[in-house]
Amino acid sequence: MIEISINLYGTQILATKVGVSLTQERRFLQHPDVVDPGVGYDNPHYFKTPGLTVDLNKCAKSCHDESISKEAISSEVGKIMDSLSAVDSDICIPTTDVLLTSLLR
């Protein structure tokens, strides 16, 4: 099994459209693990009481962590890049039709 996390970026209007489309397919967005610095986080599937402001940025960590050195980040990126040339043919990922949905323009 492979675990992935995908962050979607866009305007609030687009987020609402994506939220409606996913809801129709019975798929729902969760809080992201991390968000890019300076990017505000909002989730169209998170229940918000009308008239009440909720700061969802507290639900996700910023991917900018001061405790990680530039050398450590560079090393991790290097490891990832090196691993891209290796192919593990023993792993068989089953096909799925879940991702075969039309994209928004």
Burial 64-80 (b: 16+ CB within 10 A, else e): eeeeeeeeeeeeeeeee
- Which residue type occupies 82? D
User: What is the pLDDT, as a whole number, of residue 88?
Assistant: 64
User: What is the pLDDT, as a whole number, of residue 63?
Assistant: 61
Q: Average pLDDT in the 34-53 region? A: 74
- Structure tokens that stand for 73 in this block: 């980040």
Three-class SS of residue 34?
A: strand
| Residue 59 to residue 48: CA distance in whole angstroms | 14
- Structure tokens that stand for 39 in this block: 């990017």
Q: Average pLDDT in the 13-38 region? A: 83
User: What is the pLDDT, as a whole number, of residue 5?
Assistant: 78
Confidence of residue 65 (pLDDT cuts 50, 70, 90): low
Confidence of residue 34 (pLDDT cuts 50, 70, 90): confident
Phi and psi at 59, nearest 5°, equal -90, -5
User: What is the pLDDT, as a whole number, of residue 91?
Assistant: 67
**Which DSSP letter does residue 62 get?**
E
